Amino acid sequence: MRLVHQLSLLLIATALAAVAAVAGLVVWNLRAGFSDYLQVQDGEHLTRLMEAAERDLASRVELPRDWRPVLRDWLDAARVSAGRAGLADGPPPGAEPPPPPPREAGFDGRLPPEPRRDPPGRRDPANFGPRVLVLSADGQTPLAGRREMINRPGQTRAVKVRGETVVVLRLADRVGPVEGVDANFLRRQYMGLAAVAVGVLLIALVLARWVAVRWARPLAEAQAAARRIAAGEFDVRLPTPREGAGASEIAGLHGDINAMAESLSRLESSRRRWIAELAHELRTPLAVLRGEVEALVDGIRPLDRAALVSLQEEVKRLSRLVEDFHLLATSELRALPCEFETVAPAALLQAAVERFTPRAKSLGLVVEAPLPAVLPAARWDGARISQLLANLLENSLRYTQTPGLVQLAARSLGAAIEIRVEDTPPGVPGDDLERLFDPLYRADPSRSRAFGGSGLGLAIARAIAQAHGGQLRAEASSLGGLAMVLTLPLKQP
């Protein structure tokens, strides 16, 4: 099933369950509360019937032999009394009186006389009369009333004359749980609840469809964009969903897909540029070697020691370039292999300064190293860190204008050591600082191959720093040039 259908069904099922639960609770509460109300109303009717019976019997000299007509008279009197008290229900306007109940034989086997038609205003909508029984004083022997009412539970009232119980009136409970007008009232309430439930479900269906489509559309757009990106179309961009068009997670998904496409586009561009630069970098020493070899083969240049030394230098240059590429490719695939051991950072820094000081003097540059007297010992790969420092210093010596200054400083940061290599102009624009660590990237034409660099030194330096759990970043130097800030933990995480 599609997501839009699943969401629609989920929302409709939730609405249906909520409506069913509320409707069930209302129906149960209505039935229970209404039944209690009817019980109280029946009790009041029965009390009025008892009062009418007591008044009638008190006026008689002797008890009647046939209680059925007497019961009808009592019911009429009780009905009139209830109407005055506002307890009796009158007939609805224009309604026909109900048909009389069928005559049934009494307990003595005789049929009762023809029932009287109640005049308007004296109907029995609650079916009160047929539910009344007249029992003997002990409450056991039925004297009048419908035979089938004996087995129903109900309420009783003792009819007393001068303090002595004469008969007992019994009112059977209603069936189902109510009868007559009360049943019609409940039926109308149930129909109203059913109509409201159907209306709520229809509204829920419309809203569920609207919400599902509103959410599914941006997800479908994201799916189509992901397929296009997988096919190599890295220029695909998804529009930001307008406010209210879907959940914030969907908007975040669109943003993540756009960021992924942007990152893949940059990687693809970098890959193509890297391949082109790699081919160009390898072509230069290969062209020199080819020219040297062809000159020797053609006899233009004699095969002497100078020719062999020249060939050896070009081979070394080509080997260094290939090794640098291999090292960088290894760092891209996994962390550089390092052999960690306890080293003295101050000694490594001092050795790097001493190694580059003579060359700096020959270039007209000054190397300053205001190093602290003591630095804590660290567990590093000494050879890798020496290579990292050499790359940083080599970068500064190559591109710092004469006369200039190269400064190496270090300080302890508790569990780490910070090393800074700064130089004097020229500097690097702020937008290009992070790109300095891209392989084969050069910020401006002044940093060209004429200085002998391959464009891989800083990328390799960052890879070594990351292999030690550290960081290497570039920023503007207070000396006017470039500052390389290296932070290395004393122990690898």
Q: How confident is the model at residue 48 (pLDDT cuts 50, 70, 90)?
A: confident
> What is the DSSP code (8-state) at residue 241?
P
C-alpha span between 141 and 149 (Å, rounded): 13
Determine the pLDDT at residue 2.
Answer: 67
Question: Is 235-334's fold the same as 341-489's?
Answer: no
Q: Residue 148: what pLDDT?
A: 77
Residue 24 pLDDT grade (very low, low, confident, very high; cuts 50, 70, 90): confident
The CATH T-level fold of domain 235-334 is Helix Hairpins (1.10.287)
For position 93, what pLDDT does the model report? 38
Lowest mean pLDDT among 51-65, 70-84, 385-399: 70-84
Ramachandran category for residue 487: left, alpha or beta (phi over 0 → left; psi -120 to 50 → alpha): beta
CB 302 within 8 A of CB 295: no
Least confident of 119-133, 160-174, 215-229: 119-133
pLDDT at 298 over 50: yes
Res 377 pLDDT > 90: yes
Instruction: Give the mean pLDDT of 377-400.
Output: 90
Dist CA 325 CA 277 (whole Å): 11
Q: Which residue has the higher pLDDT, 291 or 115?
A: 291
- For the residues 173-200, what does the mean pLDDT come to? 71
The residues, ordered by sequence, that sit 6+ positions from 376 with a Cβ below 8 Å of its Cβ are: 345, 412, 417, 490
Distance, in Å, from the CA atom of 413 to the CA atom of 416, rounded to the nearest integer, reads 5
- Tell me which of 71-75, 243-247, 411-415 is least confident: 243-247
Name the pLDDT band for 487 (thresholds 50, 70, 90). very high
Q: Which H or E run contains 489?
A: strand 482-489
Phi and psi at residue 73, to the nearest 5°: -65, -40
Alpha helices in 231-304 (DSSP H): 248-298
According to CATH, the topology of domain 341-489 is: Heat Shock Protein 90 (3.30.565)
CA neighbor of 353 nearest in space, from 366, 376, 369: 369
The mean per-residue pLDDT over the stretch 245-254 comes to 70
The per-residue pLDDT for range 93-140, each reduced to its tens digit, is 333 444 555 555 444 455 555 544 444 444 565 677 888 888 888 888
Q: Which run of H or of E encompasses 418?
A: strand 416-423
pLDDT on residue 179: 52
Residue 98, pLDDT score: 46
> Distance between CA atoms of 168 and 158, rounded to whole angstroms?
4
Cα separations in angstroms, 409 against 111, 399, 418, 483: 125, 19, 8, 11
Domain ranges in the chain are 1-91+116-231, 235-334, 341-489
Average pLDDT over the chain, rounded to an integer: 78
Q: What is the pLDDT of residues 305-348, one digit of tens each?
A: 888 888 887 787 788 777 777 776 766 656 677 889 999 999 99
pLDDT at 124: 60
**Confidence (pLDDT) at 242:** 60
166 — phi, psi (to 5°)?
A: -95, -55
Q: Which two tokens stand for residue 207?
A: 């809203």
The radius of gyration of the chain from alpha carbons, rounded to an integer in Å, stands at 52
- pLDDT tens profile 394-435: 889 988 888 899 999 999 998 999 999 999 988 888 878 887
Higher-pLDDT residue of 443, 40: 40
Please tell me which residue, 219 or 464, carries the higher pLDDT value: 464
List the single range of 24-38, 80-94, 412-426 with lowest mean pLDDT: 80-94
Alpha-helical regions (H) of 119-230: 181-230
What the block records as the tokens of 409 is 């400083």
Gap between the Cα atoms of 356 and 472, Å rounded: 21
Q: What digits encode the pLDDT tens for the residues 198-219?
A: 888 788 778 777 777 777 778 7
Q: Which residue has the higher pLDDT, 215 or 164?
A: 164
Residue 113 is which amino acid? P
What confidence score (pLDDT) does residue 343 get? 92
